Amino acid sequence: MKTTRSSLLLCLCISLLCSVAVAQTRTIQSDGNWDNPSIWQGGNIADVIGEDVDFNNNVDVTIPAAASDYTVGNVAFGNNNTLTVASGRTLNVGSSGAGNARNFTAPNGGIITVEGNLVIWGNLEADNNLRLIVNGSVTIRGNIDLRNGAVLNISGTGLVQVDGNLTTQNNPTFIVDGTLRVNGTLTTGNGAARSGTGPIVVGSCVSSTAGFCSLVALPVTLLSFTAKATETGVLAEWTTALELNNSHFTLERSTDGKSFTAVGTVPGAGNSNLPRQYRYEDKSPQAGLSYYRLRQTDFDGHTEVFNIRAVRFSKKTGVFDLYPNPAVGGQVTIHVSAADGPLQAQLYDLHGRLLETASLAQGENPLTIRQPQGVYLVRLVNSGQLLGTRKVVVTR
């Protein structure tokens, strides 16, 4: 019995050890094309996620257009390496799925040129003087962390997408004629320089270089956002100054300021550098105090949430009546059926100009309209919130 138990334990240990995937390391030792076995130590080409890739120093490697796409494990440059991904080809460093994130690391003087596609499912980390030249597409699912003297050169057809943060130390250079998008925070040290006509779109920006963050943009620049009660609901209005890759807006509502639900959506402009005005009316608001906020969504699914606005809405119907109407000689009585606080009657002409105001109480409120004969609007307001509007005709 003792021997059987020991044998079972031994088999279990062996099984557990065999189930642990141990990455193998493949080393590139000389210049050439990735798909050429002679540049790889032992002739073993890395082509699966379970194989990490190490570069010897001063090696230049190309994944040519005639080669296959590759998925590998971690990639580690030596000093002064060059990697080129040709047009039409894709290099995946890691893959999707839990536990499959892998990193790309580079010491000093590395150059990465991407004509096709490079997808790093973890982080890109580099020491001094890395040059990233992009005419195709680079996607970083984690963060980019670069030391001094980094250069990001993105052509008019190029795109760099960073799902996390992009952090550089001193003297980074951003040459952007394509698009650089950072969902998280772009952080730079001193001496940051930016040129080119393409957008740098970030979630937020922190820089030790004066004025640098004024050269980047949020996906949507919001000039204003208001929400107010009307007779029929709650009207939200907002204006944008700049939109980049903007799919749509979602108006959200909450009764506690914490848990929000969507009320409705409004299509965005996509890309625009002109002021644009939007509005949406919540026609089924909650009675009492509610909170509204605006959520903006990019075409790639990235979202940004703007500040909260509080609105008090009254569902009372017939909250006030006005008689007689026409008001002969301007004599009129306003009957208020319910009052939750200080009330004010506001008299407007048909051009929207405020002419007179009067404080009201619950019940009968006799008033005299001191305006010429004509048609006017009377609005009942409670603590800045509109409760209703009535038209009145004044005769003399």
pLDDT tens digits along 139-183: 999 999 999 999 999 999 899 999 999 999 999 999 999 989 898
Give the pLDDT confidence score for residue 19 in this predicted structure.
39
Residue 15 has pLDDT above 90, yes or no: no
**335 and 363 in contact (C-beta within 8 Å)?**
yes
Give the pLDDT confidence score for residue 22 in this predicted structure.
62
Per residue in 77-116, pLDDT (tens digit) is 999 999 999 999 999 999 998 999 999 999 999 999 999 9
Residue 339 has pLDDT above 80, yes or no: no
Let me know if 348 is exposed, middle or buried by CB neighbors in 10 A (0-12, 13-18, 19+): middle
Write down the mean pLDDT value for the chain.
89
Residue 340 has pLDDT above 70, yes or no: no
Give the pLDDT confidence score for residue 318 in this predicted structure.
47
Per residue in 348-386, pLDDT (tens digit) is 999 999 999 999 888 889 999 999 999 999 998 887 788
For residue 359 the two structure tokens come to 């404080």
Per residue in 207-254, pLDDT (tens digit) is 999 999 888 877 788 889 999 988 778 999 999 988 877 899 999 999
- If you average pLDDT over each of 3-7, 113-117, 323-327, which comes out highest? 113-117
C-alpha gyration radius of the chain:
33
Residue with tokens 């108006």: 251
pLDDT band of residue 11 (cuts 50, 70, 90) is: very low
Give the pLDDT confidence score for residue 85 in this predicted structure.
98
Q: How many C-beta atoms lie closer than 10 Å to residue 391's C-beta?
A: 11
d(CA 313, CA 291) in angstroms, rounded, equals 11
pLDDT band of residue 70 (cuts 50, 70, 90) is: very high
Residue 17 has pLDDT above 50, yes or no: no
Give the pLDDT confidence score for residue 375 in this predicted structure.
95
**39 and 28 in contact (C-beta within 8 Å)?**
yes
Give the pLDDT confidence score for residue 316 in this predicted structure.
54
Long-range contacts of 92-99 (CB under 8 A, 24+ apart): 92/119, 92/121, 93/118, 93/119, 93/120, 93/121, 93/122, 94/49, 94/120, 94/121, 94/122, 94/141, 95/49, 95/71, 95/121, 96/121
d(CA 276, CA 242) in angstroms, rounded, equals 8
Residue 16 has pLDDT above 50, yes or no: no
For residue 100 the two structure tokens come to 């499959």
